[in-house]
Structure 1
Amino acid sequence: MFALSKVLRRSQSLRLGAYNAVYSKLDVPLGEKNVAFESNALIHDKCKASPRFYELSWNSSMGRRSLSSDAGAKTAGEEDELTTPNQTSGDTEDEGDFSGDEGDIEGSELELLVPDSEAGKIVVGKRSSELFKAIVSVSGVDVGSALDKWVKEGKEINRTEFANAMLQIRKRRMYGRALQMTEWLDENKQFEMEERDYASRLDLISKVRGLYKGEVYIKRIPESFRGELVYRTLLSNYAATSNVGKAEEVFNKMKDLGFPLSTFACDQMLILYKRVNKKKIADVILLMEKENVKPSLNTYKILIDTKGSSNDITGMEQIVETMKSEGVELDLRAQSIIARNYASAGLKEKAEKMLKEMEGESLEENRHVCKDLLSIYGFLQRADEVNRIWKICEEKPRYDESLAAILAFGKIDKVKEAEAVFEKILKMGHRVSSNVYSVLLKVYVDHKMVSKGKDLVKQMSDSGCNIGALTWDAVIKLYVEAGEVEKAESSLSKATQSKKIKPLMSSFMHVMDEYVRRGDVHNTEKIFQTMKQVGYQSRFRTYQALIQAYVNAKAPAYGIYDRMKADNIYPNKGLIALLAKADPFKKTPLSDLLD
């Protein structure tokens, strides 16, 4: 554990040193520089007039732990993730997978809803439960009627049966249906409610109807059932939506309520800081070390991906070695993360070596790895491997393999093969969700096949599929790629006005980047403000685009630095140079003569 925090703090101090050097070149009063760096690499704000930054305090005599920040604070120059957590439609039909194959469910979600003491009672096999089949056989708004029919036929709904069906529903991210199941259970009292039942419903309300509704519901939970599991659920949802202030508030409240610091809670903070402020990750690890909280396999996977996605391959490999020295073995998910990061870093040989380890001696016996192999080999543009793996899957393709194959064939420029896989999915006999269309649509977008993309959208609409955030994103990008930014903005406006979904951040950026390229300051500002209105916090990436629009338009950006400061955005070296170009008061040869 000590070795782990040492690795993280060492690489963090290097980054912070470079950041401080950049800031010293910016003409900002000393009291307004964002941080002073202590020997333990923790961050403390020294300027009372400025917004408070992330601060972690520890008092061993009182046993107090605390994480606090102003929401939205960013590390300098940090790129944002342009995706959001899963967003589902309210009580209408979900965009979940209706195939017979089980999708992935995050380990943290399973840990959240199925305590270790109960794990043995929940059987998550390959066969779908009969109750699950009954629920998915009806439309999304008729879950209650399906359950009523089940009981009317004299079939029992006990805790184990209900939990198995719930897990299989969640695996397909059919959260609208899952919420209706919990509402029916609350009304019909088939068995006595326990804390995890309330936690499950809180989680689903937060996912489907928003965290505000979740906050309202938690007040209705009987106090005797408002325990650690309920607050862990709330913390998980705040972390998933990158709500820094609320997540830290719940984290601290759990301590105030006397709950012990858990690996799960720390993992949620790591997930959060991975998105919004990677410098804070070392602080969380240090806190775990001080309270003797042992990192889980999930903890290591978060850290491995954090290092890898930052292109710090050496740091990633050090985390892996530390993990192995602690006796924690890599699972398939960890291996996949490592292979993807090797591939992204251009380390083809290392990536392929890891993929061969994942495959094992027999791919037919290790069929479950095919999805990841197809995806990563596609990224590496290994057409021979993509064809080899798909040949094994082709006779009886699984749903997730099929989606991965469509994208993989797109990556190796075999659009016809991608289309053939799509047609095969349509003939699988299951109701096809919009996700399937979205995947093929992405292939068309990447290959600038606008006409085919438009035809696919029409086919999708005619099939009665609900259009979700991923599909809107692909449609918007399609129009931008076709040079029809006005239609792209119109589609974005429709998606924004929909009550069922929240457009992805990338959807806004597709349109915004095109206006930036054109030097259209008015429309760039309009998209910038709309993003704020729908709930996206201003980030480094969005300000970078906005300033570039002013530069391209050769227009002065009045007050832009004050706007950034208000949003806790502080520039790196590149953005400082960009700001200088948009400075309305910058000196020119002509201004020197006039002076």
Structure 2
Amino acid sequence: MASRALFTISNNTKNKTLTAHSIVTLARTRAFCLTPNPANRNNLHSRINAVGDPSFSVAPVLQQWVKEGKDIKQFQLQRIIRDLRSRRRYTHALEVSKWMSSSGLEFSLSDFAVQLDLIGRVDGLSAAEHFFTSLKDQDKTEKTYGALLNCYVRDGLIDESLSIMKKMKEMGFLSSPLNYNDLMCLYTNTGQLEKVPDVLLEMKADGVSPDKFSYKICINSYGARGDYNNMENVLQEMSSQRHIQIDWGTYSVVACHYVKAGLKEKAIHYLKECEKKVSKDALGYDHLISSYAHLGNKDEMKRLWDLQKSKCKKQTNQNCIVMLGSLVKLGEFEEAEKLLDEWESSCKTYDFRVPNVLLIGYCQRGIVEKAEAKLQDIIKRRKTAIPNCWSIITTGYMNKNNMEKAFECFKEALAIEAENQGWRPKESLFSRILIWLGENGQVEDAEAFVKLLRTKVPANREMYHALLKAYIRNGKEVEGLLESMKDDEIDEDEETIKVLSLRDQNS
């Protein structure tokens, strides 16, 4: 999916984004694949889901299934591919698609388009172009052309995208708004927002009815340029289309632009329109709550939080994170503490992402001591914190230039890494600590820290330079350290020579 944000709708202390290309890709995916029924997943689906690491192949799972004498239907594999794509497990999705095409099962024109898209994501654009070229003429349909166009858009290639659009028009393959939407995404992603409305006009001139995604992308293009009159004109046109049901997300996009522009009355008007469409959608309430947080309206946040609790089947940890983040944004730490207590009393599994919102808030306000006290209290009442909790506190102390405390807290993060094997420390944190240890730390502290760090990060020059500085300051011989450095295939550079020159200054 495209990485550049087109629609920014905050639902946390950080901005979450909904990209125009994401919208189009989602629609294209729905067109290519059957919709999965989670309640009807069979054991094959479960077995493939169990292969979580993309470096492991799922082909043996499929082969074993057949070896056991069990049938595999086309629709089963289509559902599996659809599910894997929705969770961005593109490598495994491509494996299943290739297995499906080589196994003798029926392979539809939509399946070719899906495989082309997956090849572009996994193997790159050149591989996708080669696959497209290798297709028989009867397999080169609007869907496969559209999939190739999507690859070009994803890579931000304007000339190639326009060329294939022209080819599709000549072949009568532009019957769907998806391809025009892709082009609008391309212009948005490449900063050519002024060209987006022209594509909408072209679409209508070609006799293709815009869908809700077409209008959303165009609405956003006007809003991003501050052309609010035309933004509302497009919204009005969209509302007049009988085949389109405006959802809460559309009003949220409009409200977001007014919030960012500081036009409070307009923002509130469209947030009210958004609320009318939310119904029982918890995500919609999240967007509303965080939008009102940007407007500084705590009363509306609390009202919507209560509505979310009463109207939605359940509130997830993510919903709590949004509300906590909104309270923290307004500096309402007392109420945030109460909400955290409420969540802790009812949660079945302790998700440290929730209290982390409060810890970050305290650190950003410069009261890192309170954040650490809160974390220590949670640990006493719960269990070992995850490394990220201690990284947050480390950052807080660094921002106050208290490197001794930062060092102690980061050691806590490294010490619990065994239970969190997927965690990787931020280079910006451990680099500063290494520099500090080299200039101020004791040899034993530096050695212990590097030993811990190497359980998560390969040996590097920074580690050795920190140790060298600590050794030299404390009058310890460095020959053994230099030998270890060579063993780790780290050559001396100008910085190393500069560090070693400190020996002469200390002699």
Classify the TM-score, shorter chain. 0.5 to 0.7
User: Partner residue of 1:301?
Assistant: 216
Contact 1:128 1:168 in 2 (8 A): no
User: Partner residue of 1:411?
Assistant: 329
2:176 is the alignment partner of 1:262: yes
2:80 is the alignment partner of 1:139: no
**1:165–1:256: structure 2 CA closer, same or farther, 3 Å change rule?**
same
Equivalent residue runs for 1:293-332 within 5 Å: 293-327=208-242, 328-332=244-248
Give 1:465's aligned amino acid: G
Of the three residues 393, 401, 410, the one matched with 2:319 is 401
- Give, in whole Å, the separation in 2 of the partners of 1:436 and 1:151: 44
- Give, in whole Å, the separation in 2 of the partners of 1:228 and 1:333: 29
| Normalised TM-score (structure 1) | 0.51
2:367 is the alignment partner of 1:452: no
Shift of 1:300: 0.5
- Give, in whole Å, the separation in 1 of the partners of 2:232 and 2:287: 20
- Give, in whole Å, the separation in 1 of the partners of 2:46 and 2:131: 29
Contact 1:288 1:294 in 2 (8 A): yes
Give 1:195's aligned amino acid: L
Equivalent residue runs for 1:494-533 within 5 Å: none
**1:279–1:163: structure 2 CA closer, same or farther, 3 Å change rule?**
same
- Give, in whole Å, the separation in 1 of the partners of 2:362 and 2:118: 34
2:375 is the alignment partner of 1:463: no
- Give, in whole Å, the separation in 2 of the partners of 1:289 and 1:411: 43
Shift of 1:176: 2.9
**1:142–1:299: structure 2 CA closer, same or farther, 3 Å change rule?**
same
User: Partner residue of 1:290?
Assistant: 205
Shift of 1:309: 2.0
Shift of 1:406: 6.0
**1:193–1:305: structure 2 CA closer, same or farther, 3 Å change rule?**
same
- Give, in whole Å, the separation in 2 of the partners of 1:313 and 1:460: 50
- Give, in whole Å, the separation in 1 of the partners of 2:164 and 2:272: 42
Contact 1:231 1:250 in 2 (8 A): yes
Give 1:373's aligned amino acid: L
User: Partner residue of 1:236?
Assistant: 150
- Structure possessing the higher relative contact order (Cα contacts under 8 Å, 6 or more residues apart): 1
Superposed CA offset, 1:67-106 (max 9, x none): xxxxxxxxxxxxxx98379xxxxxxxxxxxxxxxxxx994
- Give, in whole Å, the separation in 2 of the partners of 1:84 and 1:457: 32
Identify the structure with the greater helix proportion.
Answer: 2
2:129 is the alignment partner of 1:129: no
Give 1:196's aligned amino acid: S
SS state of the match for residue 372, structure 1?
helix
Superposed CA offset, 1:269-319 (max 9, x none): 111112321222243233224322222111101011111122222221111
Please give the root-mean-square deviation of Cα atoms over the aligned residues, in Å.
4.6
| Normalised TM-score (structure 2) | 0.59
Of the three residues 112, 126, 134, the one matched with 1:212 is 126
**1:309–1:156: structure 2 CA closer, same or farther, 3 Å change rule?**
farther
Contact 1:84 1:241 in 2 (8 A): no
Give 1:290's aligned amino acid: A
**1:319–1:138: structure 2 CA closer, same or farther, 3 Å change rule?**
same
**1:216–1:439: structure 2 CA closer, same or farther, 3 Å change rule?**
farther
Give 2:116's aligned amino acid: L
**1:319–1:113: structure 2 CA closer, same or farther, 3 Å change rule?**
same
SS state of the match for residue 421, structure 2?
coil
- Give, in whole Å, the separation in 1 of the partners of 2:348 and 2:120: 33
Give 2:183's aligned amino acid: M
Shift of 1:200: 0.9
**1:419–1:321: structure 2 CA closer, same or farther, 3 Å change rule?**
same
**1:339–1:183: structure 2 CA closer, same or farther, 3 Å change rule?**
same
User: Partner residue of 1:333?
Assistant: 249
Higher Cα Rg, which structure? 2
Superposed CA offset, 1:477-508 (max 9, x none): 9999xx99xxxxxxxxxxxxxxxxxxxxxxxx
Contact 1:108 1:264 in 2 (8 A): yes
- Give, in whole Å, the separation in 2 of the partners of 1:354 and 1:253: 40
Give 2:46's aligned amino acid: K
Shift of 1:128: 7.0
Give 1:250's aligned amino acid: I
Give 2:393's aligned amino acid: K
SS state of the match for residue 188, structure 2?
helix
Equivalent residue runs for 1:245-260 within 5 Å: 245-260=159-174
Unaligned runs of 5+ in 2: 7-19, 369-390, 396-409, 437-507
**1:377–1:478: structure 2 CA closer, same or farther, 3 Å change rule?**
farther
**1:159–1:381: structure 2 CA closer, same or farther, 3 Å change rule?**
farther
Of the three residues 98, 112, 116, the one matched with 1:183 is 98
Contact 1:405 1:418 in 2 (8 A): no
Contact 1:239 1:247 in 2 (8 A): yes
2:268 is the alignment partner of 1:352: yes
After the TM superposition, which of the residue ranges 192-201 and 245-254 deviates more from structure 2?
245-254
Contact 2:282 2:319 in 1 (8 A): no
User: Partner residue of 1:274?
Assistant: 188
Superposed CA offset, 1:433-464 (max 9, x none): 9x999999987996687752655986789623
Contact 2:21 2:185 in 1 (8 A): no
**1:418–1:463: structure 2 CA closer, same or farther, 3 Å change rule?**
farther
Shift of 1:239: 1.6
Superposed CA offset, 1:185-242 (max 9, x none): 23434x2112211211221222233223322332333333122211101112222332
Unaligned runs of 5+ in 1: 1-80, 86-103, 485-595
User: Between Structure 1 and Structure 2, how many residues are aligned?
Assistant: 369
User: Partner residue of 1:222?
Assistant: 136
